[in-house]
Amino acid sequence: MSQNNIPTTLPGVEKLLNRIAVAERSQQKEIRISIQEARELTLELSIMTARLAKTVQEVHQMLGEIRDNTTNINVRFDGGGFN
């Protein structure tokens, strides 16, 4: 899956978070998920990790550009027309 085709929502993760919230409100000791739900979560978490890695890479690149733009100063002396 290319970075451009990464979905913007993660319904499996959202579903799990909702189930956890319900379990906490009803004071359940555990929740269970099916193997299919586990597969979906695994896929979505790997997508989220890939998206995060891309974002971190972009941030590092921007920081490098900012550092280069703020530390490289060009000073030129032309003599001001003195002969």
What is d(CA 2, CA 11) in angstroms, rounded to the nearest whole number? 19
The pair of structure tokens assigned to 31 is 């929740």
10-residue mean pLDDT series, the chain (83 residues)? 63 92 95 94 90 93 88 74 63
Structure tokens at 2: 């290319």
pLDDT value of residue 5: 63
The Cα–Cα gap between 83 and 80 comes to 9
Confidence (pLDDT) at 1: 46
The pLDDT, as a whole number, for residue 28 is 94
User: pTM for the complete prediction?
Assistant: 0.61
pLDDT of residue 9: 80
The pLDDT of residue 4: 57
